[in-house]
Every structure is written in structure tokens, then in C-alpha cells.
A and B are shown apart, each in its own frame.
Chain A
């Protein structure tokens, strides 16, 4: 199989992340499909950080247990990842700082002789990897030129020194496939929101969603966005609701802890019917937990968060294309039904990088919400068949627009009236029923793998890719719901036809999707759960599946 896996590691601050992305883009030039897993501690300098880059002929979403290359800029990379070494693993290491077998290069010597800064050790090993993997210099040079903003010539010299320091030890066949961009889940998600008509993004930094804030801030001039980073997540969601009141589509992003602070605003969104999209990037808890690692622990939380009962939309994309499409859809539907919509992602999807094919993501455009027809007198909460009231925005000389966190009448004036209380509660809840009907037009449950198999893996979010790849070995069916509320029970039941055994695969300790399925009368037979903050490797999941299938 025309495939390669490599691990590159060093201390935080060594530019491991940049080097792994450049290596991925070099491999990308061969027409291969890419996946990058990033593993880093919650600190700025020191510690051990590494990335695993995998390239293959088909789209991939997970890394393997073993690697073909180990590129070590510190001793930890060799010592901590012995389990990833197999027969034939090629080790390239910095002979000045690392003791190892394999191919040592004195990076210090190169840096000194070229009068280059210490950080360029990563450029030197990038060059060395290219030669070792049998990639021509012109490809390496082209990618470096495209990806380096400062001191291009010096970087090229240093890379060439690394390139010349080793021989070719591996062979990859170029593919005649279209070269795709490599995007993180967060970048795909951000572009989806922009495509759906986003006007503002408001967030307080929190891993793994800070990179959405950074991306939006840098994209703001190109797309005419307003991007704000206010004093707290409480302010974040309330500002978003202020923008929403003015008719501006707005999203916010955070992780579980920040979402806790947003919950009063979430409930307010439900009551006031001010739409907002909330990205919740999951990481292990409780509390601060493992800030830079991954989990799927907030499903139950986001399905139920907030005082009172109100309609909401919850989606969970499983790859970059779904992140793009579902984010745009979320923004459109939250405005169509005037309710909060939550995009559940996790550190693996948010910060993992993937080959991204926008043409297979699905065509989606910005939609306009239901607007007031200027007759009769404007009432913000007009009771309609679907529960959706026509919108007007400030300033409108013919409309007084009143929104309210208290129970209110159709005009938005506070009420404690018995009949009105019941009427307005039913109006708000009715929207979810119509939303659920509309969602039938979309693919809300995806079936992959062997669709005839009686054994099914059910997963959600970032486990989609690894489940599909691992299911191949045992020829199993894979079902993954894209929408989790309103729960797409009809499509899910259809997907289950002929199934005898259901195995749920999740990154949490309880099995939150399995519990949700049980609530909907679907009995789950086995649960494969991983809750150490790290994603399943392909082989690890294959072996868990073997045990569960028996």
C-alpha cells in the first residue's frame, strides 16, 4: 500500500507543529491524502510535543499504531514512543542532543555553519526527511517557499543541508489525483460559518476553540467580519445575542468550562428566540481536566443545558467536510427557527488536520430568515402555526421590537397570565417539531462500510473516520448520526434495518450516545470507550472491535 506514517517530536517551542504541517504539504504534492494528529502539553516552552503525519491513497482520519519514520529533535521522542517503532522504522535524530540508533544528523553544526537561528533545526530535519522519503528537492523547495514568510533563502539553505545529509531510504509513488488543501477541523468549521453568512464571531480564548478565534480574526478583513474577544464567556454570549437582535448572524466558540458560563445566555436565547450558534470543542474534564487533549464528554450536557424547556439544534460533524457543511447549515437553521444551535466538536477534530475536498462537502448557501411583511402591526412574538414569528430589526420606523427574558406576550411585554404562559411555551417548543420535519430533507444519519452487515459500529463526531477504517477489517456496518437534537429517529431506524448487534464507540467513560439511543428505545449491546484524552489508533480500535464482536 502506498502509505506513510511519521512522528516528529521535540520540546514545545521547537516548531514541531510548523514542521509537521510543512512535511504534510510536501507529501500532499504527491497527490496523497493527509491526516495530522497533534499532541502537545498545556505549556508554552519545554515539555514534549509531537505530531503524527499519515499520508495514504484514500481519505484518512486516524493515525496508525506504528510509524515508518521517527524524527527526533529531543530524547523524549525516542524514549516515549518506542511502542510506535516496528521493524524497518527509520529514525532520523539530532545527534547533538539525542542518543539513538538510526540516522543521526548534527543539526547544531548545520545551524552554526549557516549562521541560522536555533528554531531552524526543524527546517533541517524537514529537508532530511524529504530526501529519506525519496521526495525530489524541487517539491521540497516549492513547498518551503510557499509556506515560509521570513528568511526564505536561509531556510532553503538549511533545508538543503538536511536534505544532503541523508540518503533515500523509502519509496512513495506519486498519485495522479487533484491536490487538496489541508485544513484543521476548526478552519473548515470557520469557513462553513462564513459561507452560511456569518457577520460576527465572539469568543474568549479556550482550547480547543482558540484557533477558531484566531482564524476568524485573521479572516475578518477579507470577509467583512467583526471579531471580538470580550471579558468573559458570559459577555461573549450576551454580545452575540445583542448582534442577533440587530439581525447580524453571530457565532461563539468555547470548550466545556466556557460553555458552563454561557448556559444562562443559552437559556435566554431559547426564551428570547434570538438565534446564536455555539461551537463547543470538547476536552477531558471534569473541571480544567486535560486542556490540550480530547474527549466526547459534553453530549449529555449540551443536549440538556439551560434552565427551562426550549428548542435547540445540536450537530456533531465527523470530519472537515462535515464541519464545513454542518456549520453553514446550523447557522441557516438557527435563524430559520430562531433558536440556539450547538456545533459539537472535540480537540481531535478541531485541531487535527485533514485533506479537505470542498466539492464533496455539499453545496450550501446563505439563507434569509422569515421577515415581517409590514402588516399587520409588528409583534416580535406573533404566534404562528410553526411557532416562528416574522422578524424586524432596529431601526424600523414602523416597528417597536421588544425582546424579553421573562415570559411575555406576542408584543414582548412581560406576562404571568395562565393562558399566555401556556401558549408561548407551546409556541417555542413547536419550532423544534417543525425543525425536526425539515431535517428529514437532509442526511442526518450516515451509513458506511458494509451496509448488509448485521453488526454495526455506532459512533459520533471525530470517531467517524477511524470507525469506518477499522470496520473494514471485519466488514462491519458503521452508523454515525450528524444531528443529535432533534434526534433523527426515523433515519436512524432506517439505518438500523437488519442489524443484530450494536456496538457504540465513544471517547467518554459512560457511553453518552449509547444512553441517548437507549432513551429512544434502541438497545446498545456493547460499548467501546476510551477516555485517556487520546484518539483511537486504527489498530487499537480494530483489536477492541475483535473483542466486542466475539
Chain B
């Protein structure tokens, strides 16, 4: 499908070969397909944090909220609360959502806020020129850790499962067809969805071959089974050398934050009159 109408005039500043291109193209493809299936593009809001991933806000011609580092998720929750007809997609980095803004990620999952969080997990701070992130492997040598990191990485999918996320998926930045499908499913999922994308950073952390050799599609896996999901999520801990499953690990139907929160719309209220009535109780 032709995704040209989703382009903006902004010049693309990613490095040639960057995994972000795959994510951008898959997202535009997913939106175009969803539009053909009936989604009005004015009902889409794209949010981003700060980092190379965040340029998505400049590169896609839809409503966007280019937030600050780690802080794409709270406004996303509010936008959805303000209008439940809107599809809210947060692009985020591993520095953003697994680091500086991790509390927002946990709480959004806990609430089952009906938003999608897509993490460009390149496992390195690229925009700030190559420091370790919460998902870098033990011993990663970056500019802030020339002797290698002294801490194990976080398994974000396990954290999300424990936090109450109702849709958990992983992909790599190479598999455009899989990414497109996951984006569509995440966006249409009723409740909180997380897509962790093992994105290749060609300049600071080129894991192309590593992922290519280990990644496999989840098959004969029941994503509605919590224990199976946990088992598959624990297969690779972002540190060890083991097969890396991609696809949907977990999926659950549950009431969303907005559904629980919103009360039926009240009749228009004469606030001046209502305030005077209320004041009578303070005599």
C-alpha cells in the first residue's frame, strides 16, 4: 500500500542502515492498512520521548506529542482519558521507558491504560553517543563504562507481565511484515500493549548478526496462558546466549483504566448556580 501521504517534509536524520527505518516503514504500513479497514487518521495520536526513536513524531504526518525524555506515557494516558475514540501510540526508547521513565511504564501497565507503547530497544544510548542502557548486557563497554558495566540487564517483558500488561510482544527491526502485524494488533488491542523491538544501531551497537542467528517466531504458543508466557519470556534474559523468541507472548482481555474511570457524561452544568448551592452547605 502507498504510505506516501504519511510522510512529512522533515529531513530524515537517522544513520544509513539504522533499524529505525524498518520501524518507521512498518508503522506507516500498519496505519495505512488500518485506515483502509476504517480507522480515521485524525483519531491517531503519536507520542515520543527523547532519543533517535523520537524523531518518529517529525516523520509521520499524524497528530503528535513530542514529549520529554521518559515522559511520553503520562500524556498518552491523559489523551486517551480525554477521548476514548482516539488511538494512542507511544514510541519510546529503552533509555526512555526502561530507564528514566520506567515508573510511568509500570503504572500504565498496572492500570491497563488503553495505549500502545512501542520501544525502540537498541540497548544503547545512541543520541548521546554510546552509553549503556537498562537492557545492555553485563560488561557492555560504552563511553560511560569503558571497563564494562557492572550490572545485569533488565528483562522488560518479565517486568511488564508482573506489572499487569495485557499485551506483550517482541520483534526485531528487520522483520517488517511481523512488525506491521504486531503494530496493528497492539493498536487494536483493548488495553495496555507493549511491543519491544530489538532495534539495530549500526553506529554504536550493531547486533544484526546476533539477532539474525537467534531470533525465531513463536509458534504453538498460547499467549492467553500466563505460565507459558512467563516461561517463554524467561527463555532469553537480554544477557545470555540463547534463542530469542519473537511474536506475541501474552494477551489478556481485561477492563481498561478508561472504562473503569469514566462516568457517564453529566448534563451541562450551570457552574455558577451549582457553586452557590454548594456554599449553602458551608454556613
Contacts and interface: CB of A to CB of B under 8 A. Distances in A.
B82 A242 contact: yes
Contacts of A264: 68, 71
Interface string B57-78: 1100111111110010011111
Interface stretch (A223-231, A455-463, A522-530): A223-231
Interface of A: 25, 28, 146, 179-183, 187, 191, 194-195, 197, 200, 202, 219, 221-224, 226, 228, 230-232, 234-236, 238-243, 245-248, 264-265, 268, 356, 358, 365-366, 394-397, 399-406, 408, 412-414
A240 B278 contact: no
Given A400-B62, A402-B66, A405-B68, A181 B279 contact: yes
* B: interface residue count bin: 35 or more
Given A181-B280, A232-B103, A412 B274 contact: no
A236 B263 CA distance: 21
Interface stretch (B40-48, B138-146, B185-193, B196-204): B40-48
B146 to A, nearest CB: 29
Given A221-B263, A238-B71, A240-B78, A395 B83 contact: yes
- Closest 4 CB pairs between A and B? A242-B78, A242-B75, A181-B282, A238-B74
B50 interface: yes
B40 A356 contact: no
B156 to A, nearest CB: 18
A394 B265 contact: no
Contacts of A241: 75, 78
Contacts of A197: 271
Contacts of B282: 181-183, 187, 356
Nearest to A394: B63
B79 A394 contact: yes
B252 interface: no
Given A238-B74, A243-B78, A403-B65, A414 B10 contact: yes
27 contacts: A28-B283, A181-B281, A187-B282, A191-B275, A195-B271, A197-B271, A222-B274, A223-B271, A224-B266, A224-B269, A231-B106, A235-B74, A235-B107, A238-B78, A242-B78, A245-B78, A265-B71, A356-B279, A358-B275, A358-B279, A395-B40, A395-B85, A402-B64, A403-B64, A403-B66, A405-B50, A414-B55
A224 B62 contact: no
Given A246-B79, A395-B40, A230 B65 contact: no
B9 interface: yes
Interface string B253-269: 00000000111011001
Interface of B: 8-10, 40, 42-43, 45, 50, 55, 57-58, 61-68, 71, 74-79, 81-83, 85-86, 103-104, 106-107, 261-263, 265-266, 269, 271-272, 274-276, 278-283
B66 A222 contact: no
* Residue among A179, A180, A223 with max Cβ neighbours from chain B (10 Å): A223
A402 B50 CA distance: 15
Contact of B265 (A25, A224, A403): A224
Nearest to A238: B74
A146 B75 CA distance: 42
A242 B279 contact: no
A235 B67 CA distance: 12
A358 B66 CA distance: 42
A400 B45 CA distance: 10
B5 to A, nearest CB: 11
Contact of A395 (B10, B42, B104, B271): B42
Contacts, number: 157
Contacts of A231: 103-104, 106-107
Contacts of A248: 82
* Residue among A268, A395, A399, A401 with max Cβ neighbours from chain B (10 Å): A395
B112 to A, nearest CB: 14
Contacts of A408: 66
A121 to B, nearest CB: 25
Contacts of B77: 230, 239, 242
Nearest to A267: B68
B42 A394 contact: yes
A397 B283 contact: no
A363 to B, nearest CB: 9
Contacts of A191: 275, 278
B278 A404 contact: no
A223 B8 contact: no
A403 B64 CA distance: 6
Contacts of A195: 271-272, 275
B164 to A, nearest CB: 14
Contacts of B74: 230, 234-236, 238-239, 242
B86 A405 contact: no
B271 A230 contact: no
Contacts of B276: 358
A20 to B, nearest CB: 15
A195 B81 CA distance: 22
Contacts of B62: 400
Contacts of A396: 42
Contacts of A179: 283
A402 B40 CA distance: 17
Contacts of B280: 181
A397 B39 CA distance: 12
B61 to A, nearest CB: 6
Nearest to A199: B82
A406 B79 contact: no
A413 B283 contact: no
A403 B72 CA distance: 12
B86 A394 contact: yes
A224 B265 CA distance: 7
A359 to B, nearest CB: 10
A414 B107 contact: no
Contact of A235 (B79, B103, B275): B103
Contacts of B279: 181, 183, 356, 358
A492 B45 CA distance: 46
Given A181-B281, A243-B78, A268-B71, 19 more contacts: A179-B283, A195-B271, A202-B78, A221-B263, A223-B271, A224-B265, A224-B266, A228-B81, A238-B74, A242-B78, A242-B79, A246-B79, A400-B63, A401-B64, A405-B66, A406-B66, A408-B66, A412-B64, A413-B58
Contacts of B78: 200, 202, 238-243, 245-246
Nearest to A245: B65
B275 A397 contact: no
Contacts of B86: 394-395
B57 A401 contact: no
A181 B283 CA distance: 4
Contacts of A202: 78
B65 A242 contact: yes
A180 B276 CA distance: 11
B9 A413 contact: yes
Contacts of A414: 10, 55, 57-58, 66
Contacts of B275: 191, 194-195, 358
B274 A223 contact: yes
A397 B40 contact: yes
B67 A268 contact: yes
B83 A394 contact: yes
A407 B107 CA distance: 30
